[in-house]
A and B are shown apart, each in its own frame.
Chain A
Amino acid sequence: DGGITQSPKYLFRKEGQNVTLSCEQNLNHDAMYWYRQDPGQGLRLIYYSQIVNDFQKGDIAEGYSVSREKKESFPLTVTSAQKNPTAFYLCASVGGRMNTEAFFGQGTRLTVV
């Protein structure tokens, strides 16, 4: 079955360390997205990629980096420059007819201590 997989589900890191969140899809979707969700708030766009080897900053890209070397994979690195990294991170992929079919990962809850 096609789908999108995020790992790990829970992640703990010490302050000042970089950490990379994984997102893989086997849906043959061109577009992939990373969002951040804070308690009581909506999902905010960090980075997105419409095609391999290309990506754009979203609304809250500072302190994050991404790569898109393969169509299936869109890893997100939370760098030490991100001032408040503890949050829920969600990956999504978009494709299908008219590019309106959206699938979502299960999310990664990152806690920085």
Chain B
Amino acid sequence: KNEVEQSPQNLTAQEGEFITINCSYSVGISALHWLQQHPGGGIVSLFMLSSGKKKHGRLIATINIQEKHSSLHITASHPRDSAVYICAVFKVNFGNEKLTFGTGTRLTIIP
């Protein structure tokens, strides 16, 4: 079982729909990143969370440390939001923290 699980693996939606992508993890973490990977392959960090909620434009990320769960929401989705969204966690490891990635959610927004 992967230490970081994402759902769904693939998501197709109509433009304008509200999107939710989920991430569950089974290890102690110091922080969680939501990343966006476009077809060219480059990765951008959208959010870094250690507690609570963050908002940037149409994107909202939440984390529940007790439940070991995080969600990424996209409001008023647009075709340009089509990408792979990846959850990554910093595992607590006594000063030797490493980034561990989920397998990603491929989002396709249809005009």
Which A residues contact B (CB, under 8 angstroms)?
33, 35, 37, 41-43, 45, 48, 50, 88, 90, 92, 94, 98-107, 109
Which B residues contact A (CB, under 8 angstroms)?
2, 30-31, 33, 35, 40-45, 48, 50, 86, 88, 90, 96-104
By secondary structure, the A interface counts as strand
Residues of chain A lying within 8 A (CB to CB) of residue B99? 33, 45, 92, 94, 102
How many residue-residue contacts, CB under 8 A, span A and B? Answer: 60
Chain A proximity of B71: nearest CB distance (Å): 19
Q: CB within 8 A of B43: which of A101, A107, A109?
A: A107
Residues of chain B lying within 8 A (CB to CB) of residue A35? 101
Measured CA separation A45–B88 after assembly (Å): 12
Contact A106 to B42, CB < 8 A, known contacts A99-B97, A100-B30, A100-B90: yes
